[in-house]
């Protein structure tokens, strides 16, 4: 049976104290909303509907950047979770399968947990996700009778006996699309806040002799983010899990607590990630590569046997082939380095291709930007680029070619040729001594006038 998703993402999140919608604050380089969408995507949903409110245009852009088929609907007034789900009714009018309601500010629900809910839906009309809370506090309680969920009781309305229950409500619900909206039609806002609560559908379902149950997950999965402090806790939780998974998968982390992963970092076994490495989104590291300390990588691919860093920066579009060496204070952007190429220190390579076994000397810069457009530099195989070479793009350096130290290359260098483009050195005998004397007199005069 097909499944659709409704993801509630309409709140401003006043406790965040931000102009940005709450669900667009990031954990591990991705908005909270995208984390929720990634979890739901594992079910291969027929349709994903995002219910937006504050900052709807921004929310829509983020959602559709992850899934261009996602449909965004607007909740004009914030009248509760039940009202928010009803806003998705027209978008799902042509769906006759199941629907799962998720929350854009609850980023860590595992795909396996949603699969368990989908499986439970084959036996029950309504399925709620619950968790055993270490401190139930003000969570709603799930009142069970065997595997039947009888009702959800909010803390304020619970008896002492009900408050002793530690099985709590996450708010995530699965039902058939028709059942969900039929039940919501009977939800009232006759309560202190005047809102329509999604959780009220359980009691209505039981009154109609529909079956309801709860599937449980670890409490950590249900972590919601409502403040900057909770955002920091969510980041710490993600990083702890990502580090543990990396170690379990055969990746060496000598100082795991100092490595920061993105939501989509991919690293092969036997890779070595040294301390204080930061991964931005879109990074793939192949088996056996080594990322040395204090390096920053995003949007790049590092092949087997390559060494990056220390203190290197790989920006989007950096493609390192096998056994490439990129050393300290080297920045690579939108450039490919073929097998065995080396750029070991103090270099910028942008919008370029570097051939196999080529050596890039210290202080080399590809001058790729003219203030309006970017231009490409092509360096062939087995070339030797001397230190402090400026390559003024667009320009090509051929196979087996060489540039002399301090050369400005603004014309193509043929295969096997050596380019020398620097001003002739002229020595002026005694001029240094005279110049220093002049400067000392000038400084003494200035100091006297200032004093």
For residue 222, the Cα-to-chain-centroid distance in whole angstroms is 19
Place of tokens 């990074």: 283
Classify 348 as helix, strand or coil: strand
Q: What 3-state DSSP class applies to 379?
A: strand
Extract the tokens encoding 168. Answer: 């709590």
Cβ pair 420, 397 in contact under 8 A = no
Kind of pairing, strands 26-27 and 126-132? unpaired
- Cα torsion 135, 137, 138, 141: sign: positive
Which SS3 state, helix, strand or coil, does residue 130 take?
A: strand
CA distance 143 to 340: 64
Locate all alpha helices (DSSP H) within 74-159, ordered by sequence: 81-86, 111-120
SS3 297: strand
Using alpha carbons, list the distances in angstroms from residue 66 to 29, 30, 31, 175.
13, 10, 10, 25
Would you say 170 and 131 are in contact if contact means Cβ atoms under 8 Å apart?
yes
The b-or-e profile of 123-139 (16+ CB within 10 A means b, else e) is ebbbbbbbbebeebeeb
**CA-to-CA distance for 302 and 321, rounded, in angstroms?**
7
374 — phi, psi (to 5°)?
-95, 145
Burial class (CB in 10 A: 0-12, 13-18, 19+), 69: exposed
Question: Which of 187-203 are b and which e, b meaning 16 or more Cβ less than 10 Å from the residue's Cβ?
Answer: beeeeeeeebbbbbbbb
User: Which entry of 83, 296, 345, 376 is annotated as an active-site residue?
Assistant: 345
- Annotated catalytic residue 345: yes
- Cβ-contact 257, 274 below 8 angstroms: no
48 contacts 4 by C-beta, under 8 angstroms: yes
By residue count, the chain amounts to 451
- Which residues form the catalytic set? 345
């Amino acid at each position: 049976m097909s499944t659709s998703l409704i993801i509630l993402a309409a709140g401003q999140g006043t406790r965040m104290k931000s102009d940005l919608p709450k669900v667009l604050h990031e954990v591990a380089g991705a908005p909270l909303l995208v984390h929720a969408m990634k979890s739901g995507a594992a079910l291969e949903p027929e349709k994903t509907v995002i219910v937006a409110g504050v900052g709807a245009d921004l929310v829509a852009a983020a959602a559709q950047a992850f899934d261009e088929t996602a449909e965004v609907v607007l909740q004009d007034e914030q009248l509760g979770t039940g009202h928010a789900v009803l806003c998705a009714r027209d978008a799902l009018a042509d769906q006759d399968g199941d629907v799962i309601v998720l929350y854009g500010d609850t980023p860590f629900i595992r795909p396996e947990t949603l699969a368990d809910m989908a499986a439970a839906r084959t036996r029950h009309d309504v399925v709620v996700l619950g968790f055993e809370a270490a401190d139930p506090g003000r969570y709603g309680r799930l009142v069970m009778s065997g595997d039947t969920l009888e009702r959800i009781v909010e803390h304020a309305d619970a008896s002492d006996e009900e408050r002793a229950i530690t099985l709590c409500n996450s708010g995530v619900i699965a039902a058939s699309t028709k059942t969900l909206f039929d039940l919501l039609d009977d939800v009232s806002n006759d309560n202190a806040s005047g809102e329509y609560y999604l959780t009220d559908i359980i009691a209505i379902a039981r009154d109609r002799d529909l079956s309801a149950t709860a599937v449980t997950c670890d409490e950590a999965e249900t972590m919601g983010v409502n403040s900057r402090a909770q955002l920091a806790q969510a980041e710490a939780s993600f990083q702890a899990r990502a580090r543990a998974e990396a170690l379990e998968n055969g990746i060496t982390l000598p100082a795991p607590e100092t490595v920061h992963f993105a939501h989509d970092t991919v690293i092969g076994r036997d890779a070595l990630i040294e301390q204080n490495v930061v991964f931005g989104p879109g990074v793939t590291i192949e088996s056996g590569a080594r990322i040395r300390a204090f390096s920053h990588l995003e949007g790049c691919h590092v092949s087997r046997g390559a060494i990056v860093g220390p203190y290197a920066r790989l920006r989007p579009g950096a493609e390192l082939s096998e056994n490439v060496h990129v050393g300290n204070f080297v920045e690579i952007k939108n450039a490919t380095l073929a097998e065995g190429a080396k750029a070991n220190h103090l270099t910028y390579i942008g919008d370029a291709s570097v051939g196999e076994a080529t050596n890039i000397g210290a202080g080399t810069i590809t001058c790729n930007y003219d203030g309006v457009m970017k231009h490409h530099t092509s360096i062939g195989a087995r070339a030797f680029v001397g230190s402090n070479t400026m390559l003024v793009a667009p320009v090509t350096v051929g196979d087996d070619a060489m540039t002399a130290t301090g050369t400005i290359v603004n014309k193509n260098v043929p295969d096997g040729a050596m380019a020398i483009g620097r001003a002739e050195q002229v020595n002026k005998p005694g001029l240094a001594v005279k110049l220093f004397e002049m400067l000392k007199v000038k400084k003494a005069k200035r100091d006297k006038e200032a004093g």
